[in-house]
Amino acid sequence: MPALMHKPVTTIVAIALLGLLALVPVASEAFDDPFMLTLFTRIVIMAIAAVSLNLILGYGGMVSFGHAAYIGIGGYSVGILAHHGVHAAWIQWPLALAMSGIFALLIGLLSLRTRGIFFIMITLALAQLVYYLGNGAYAYGGDDGLTILKRSDFGGLIDLNHRPTLYYLCWAILVAALYFCHRTVNSRFGMVLQGAKSNDRRMATIGFPIFRYRLTAFVIAGMVCGLAGVLSATFTDFVSPAMMHWSRSGDLIVMVVLGGMGSLFGPLFGAVSFLLLEEILSGWTEYWKIVFGPILVLVVIFARGGIDGALSRGQAGALMTGIAAFFLVYGVHLVYEDAWIIPTLILAAAFTLSGLVWWHYRRKRVASTETAGGDHA
């Protein structure tokens, strides 16, 4: 497994994390804290979606701003079938995967003709189309959504109503998705995909039909994400267009980038830290996004390569960002009891300022080393 050996630190951390995730139902039982299981089921499901997005975004360079649409398509497939009294998982799940695949094929056929910013926009537009399709489906609740009264039935093989069982199913699918992604990326197919990311013209000149390769990857990613949608719908017993809103797609991109694009375990780190951060911050203050927004901006500006990048390089700057973010959050927590708005704003300003000063000096240092290095044209 050559690709795994490149970053031993990341792999060890990721396997430890997966191991910890496997213990969640036990811990939830031991601490008598059912909410913990709820939270982590959501985290694991979103991690599956993030892994699927990483396949096209991280390895293929296709910035799809409409990936949440497949969560909705997968979810609605299950919801609509259940609404009509079809509960057999052997019908529901394959059909949901097929629907996600068909939609991904159609969206990919149109959008993969474009490049760069136009690709971002057209995937966004087509996802909005699906979103409004959900809104307009008045027979299935329109924008109020659709409640699933009975979960998928595996014929007694797997009992989805048993919460730990559902959790372990999600966990197993996550591990399978990671393994699948690992195998795909290191196959010939994955190499072509990555080659097309770094230079598509050259790959085309060598003779690879990159459109077809990209389309295949796009469909695979859509189907895996559709599976996440099926799990999400099963878990919440509910589907609604809100799960396809464009900001959900934004959240997915944030997870992938936060964790580290084009790294196998990046989306796992990203989804866990994004949702945990959301949970912790929103537990402390209802205005958690006022802290989370600037953290996101700073991560984008300073900590390129995300968590995975910071782990494998031990990058001081990223570490500093993390520590500063922690102190910021902790500060908010301390003053949360009273009027915390002003201290938060001051802290946020100080944080931004220190980050900018650090960035300024770093850029100077980089500039001086570049001059010392001589020509780099």
Partner 1 sequence: MLLLLFEQFLNGLQIGLLLFLLAAGLTLVFGIMDLVNLAHGSLYMMGAYFAAVFTQWTGNFFLGALLALPAGALLGIVVEVIALRTLYTRDHLDQVLATFGLILFFNEFARVVFGAGGMAIELPSWLEGQVMVMPGLPYPSFRFLIIVVGLACAGFLYLLVQKTRLGMLIRAGASNREMVGALGIDIKLLFTLVFGLGSALAALAGLMSGPITTVQIGMGDNILILALVVIVIGGIGSIRGAFIAAIAIGVIDTMGRAFLPNMLGTVLNPSDAGTLAQALSSMLIYILMAAVLVLRPAGLFPAPGR
Q: Are 207 and 196 in contact (CB under 8 A)?
A: no
Give the C-alpha separation, 262 to 367, whole Å. Answer: 28
Q: Of 37-45, 124-132, 165-173, 186-194, which part binds partner 1 (CB under 8 A)?
A: 124-132
List 117, 339, 372, 377, residue binding partner 1 (CB under 8 A): 117
If 0-12 CB within 10 Å is exposed, 13-18 middle and 19+ buried, where does residue 337 land?
A: exposed
Question: Could you tell me which of 144, 178, 145 has the C-alpha nearest to residue 75?
Answer: 145
Q: Is residue 187 within the footprint of partner 1 (CB under 8 A)?
A: no
Nearest-angstrom CA–CA distance, 257 and 305: 7
CB of 125 to partner 1, least distance (A): 4
- By CB under 8 A, the residues from 332 to 371 that bind partner 1 are 341, 352, 356, 359
Binding flags for partner 1, 280-319, as an x/- string (CB under 8 A): -------xxxx-xxxxxx--xx------------------
Q: Which SS3 state, helix, strand or coil, does residue 83 take?
A: helix
Question: Is 105 a residue that touches partner 1 (CB under 8 A)?
Answer: no
The rounded distance, in Å, linking the Cα atoms of 312 and 305 is: 10
Interacting span for partner 1 (CB under 8 A) from 3-11, 41-49, 113-121, 153-161 = 113-121
Among 19, 116, 207, 373, binds partner 1 (CB under 8 A): 116
Q: Rounded to the nearest whole angstrom, what is the least distance from the CB of residue 254 to partner 1 in the complex?
A: 6
- String of DSSP letters for 307-368: HHHHHHHT-HHHHHHHHHHHHHHHHHHHHTTS--HHHHHHHHHHHHHHHHHHHHHHHHHHHH
Question: 228 to 267, contacts with partner 1 by CB under 8 A?
Answer: 246-247, 250, 253-254, 257
> x/- contact string, 133-172, with partner 1 (CB under 8 A)?
x-xxxxx--xx-----------------------------
Taking residues 33 to 62 in sequence order and writing x for each that binds partner 1 by CB under 8 A, - otherwise, the string is ------------------------x-----
Q: Determine the interface stretch with partner 1 among 108-116, 160-168, 203-211, 268-276 (rule: CB under 8 A).
A: 108-116
**Among positive and negative, which fits the CA dihedral 220, 253, 289, 36?**
positive
Q: Which is nearer to partner 1, 1 or 139 (CB)?
A: 139
238 phi, psi to nearest 5 deg? -160, 140
Residue 228 or 295 with smaller CB distance to partner 1: 295
Among 39, 86, 105, 121, binds partner 1 (CB under 8 A): 121
CB of 341 vs partner 1, minimal distance in Å = 6
Contact 48, 173 (CB under 8 A): yes
Minimal distance, residue 110 CB to partner 1, in Å:
6
Count of residues near partner 1 by CB under 8 A:
49
- Is residue 125 involved in binding partner 1 (CB under 8 A)? yes
Any contact of residue 132 with partner 1 (CB under 8 A)? yes
Nearest to 51 by CA among 195, 213, 260, 246: 260
Does position 277 interact with partner 1 (CB under 8 A)? The reply is no
Distance CA 82, CA 150 (A): 7
- State the residue for tokens 């059912």: 34
Contact by Cβ (8 Å): 134, 248: no
> SS in 3 state form for 195-213?
HHHHCHHHHHHHCCCHHHH
* Cα–Cα dist 108/69, whole Å: 13
For every residue of 121-180, DSSP letters joined together read HHHHHHHHHHHHHHHH-GGGTGGG-EE-SS--B-TTSS-TTSHHHHHHHHHHHHHHHHHH
Task: Give least dist CB 294 to partner 1, A.
Answer: 6
Provide the minimum distance between the beta carbon of 351 and partner 1 in the complex, in angstroms, as a whole number.
Answer: 12
Residue 65 binds partner 1 (CB under 8 A): yes
| Residue 215 touching partner 1 (CB under 8 A) | no
Binding region for partner 1 (CB under 8 A): 57, 63, 65, 110-111, 113-114, 116-118, 120-122, 124-126, 128-129, 132-133, 135-139, 142-143, 246-247, 250, 253-254, 257, 287-290, 292-297, 300-301, 341, 352, 356, 359
